[in-house]
Amino acid sequence: MTVVKCKCGEVEVHLSTTKPLFRLMCCCNDCNAILQWAAWKRGESFYPAFQGIDKIYMENSLKVLKGENLLRWVKLTKESVCLRSITTCCYSSLFVENLSILGPKIACIDVDFCDVQGSQACEVTAQIFEKDVPSNRREAICESFNGPRFEAGPEETSMWPSVIPTILNAQSTEVIFPKGFNSLREIIERSVKSYGWINLEDYNNDNKAPIVLSGRN
């Protein structure tokens, strides 16, 4: 079993497996913008200002042990297909759902922005979305990365000979839900029904607060 907690320990989620499906470093604008916003909410700086985000991808079978009332789901814009869970207690980032790319059977975990225990070691498969890296960060983020590098993401199937089969296999494999375990989608629907979600737009790096378009703090 893999245990995921927020940084202050008020939220605890269990995953039914310990073996990651794969692991990626993501350099997209969406991840960086939302994590900058979360740092701003904590009263901290997000440093370096743009970075590769370490993510592991697990079978989508979860159980919230405590703190489900502290989970909120954030979208960068109203049109975003990517939903990220942020905790209101300490603004940790736990999970990401992206149905358009990953499908409903894969859960993504931001391992550097929460506390992950019990998962098996997994080598980084690739670094993605390097097209979003600013020129002043390309040497530190891109040139120093020792592994497959891609300008875009896994929707560019022709660019992903090693990763696409893994994703397709995970999408076609039946997810086993032990008693009390759910998918991210079920957890999201309960939360959004009670609290709505938060949309962020026009967030930048000049120390201004992001604009909250909807949702509740």
Q: How far apart are CA 72 and CA 93, in angstroms?
A: 10
Give the pLDDT confidence score for residue 158 in this predicted structure. 63
Map residue 18 onto helix, strand or coil.
Answer: coil
Sheet holding 22-26, edge to edge: 126-128, 22-26, 53-59, 106-110, 93-98, 82-87, 71-75, 198-201, 211-214
Q: Is the dihedral of CA 92, 46, 107, 186 positive or negative?
A: positive
pLDDT at 204: 46
pLDDT score at 209: 42
Domains and CATH numbers, the chain: 2-214 (2.170.150.70)
Radius of gyration (Cα) for the chain, nearest Å?
17
Residue type, 134: P
Can you give the pLDDT at residue 33? 86
DSSP for residue 207? S
63 bridge partner residues: 14
Tokens of 99: 């149905």
Question: 113: which 2 tokens?
Answer: 């922005």
Q: What is the pLDDT, as a whole number, of residue 69?
A: 93
Instruction: Note the pLDDT tens digit of each residue in 40-73.
Output: 888 888 888 899 999 999 999 999 999 999 999 8
pLDDT given at position 160: 64
Separation of alpha carbons 26 and 96, rounded Å: 12
| DSSP string covering 118-129 | SPPP----EEE-
* 113 contacts 35 by C-beta, under 8 angstroms: yes
Give the model's pLDDT for residue 162.
67
d(CA 72, CA 75): 10
Tokens 């989508």 belong to: 60
State the pLDDT at residue 155: 65
Q: How far apart are CA 154 and CA 180, in angstroms?
A: 31
Report the C-alpha gap between 42 and 174 in whole angstroms: 39
**Residue-level pLDDT at 210:** 43
- pLDDT value of residue 25: 93
Residues with pLDDT less than 70, the chain: 78, 154-162, 199-217
Measured distance CA(7)–CA(46) in Å, rounded: 15
The Cα diameter of the chain in Å comes to 49
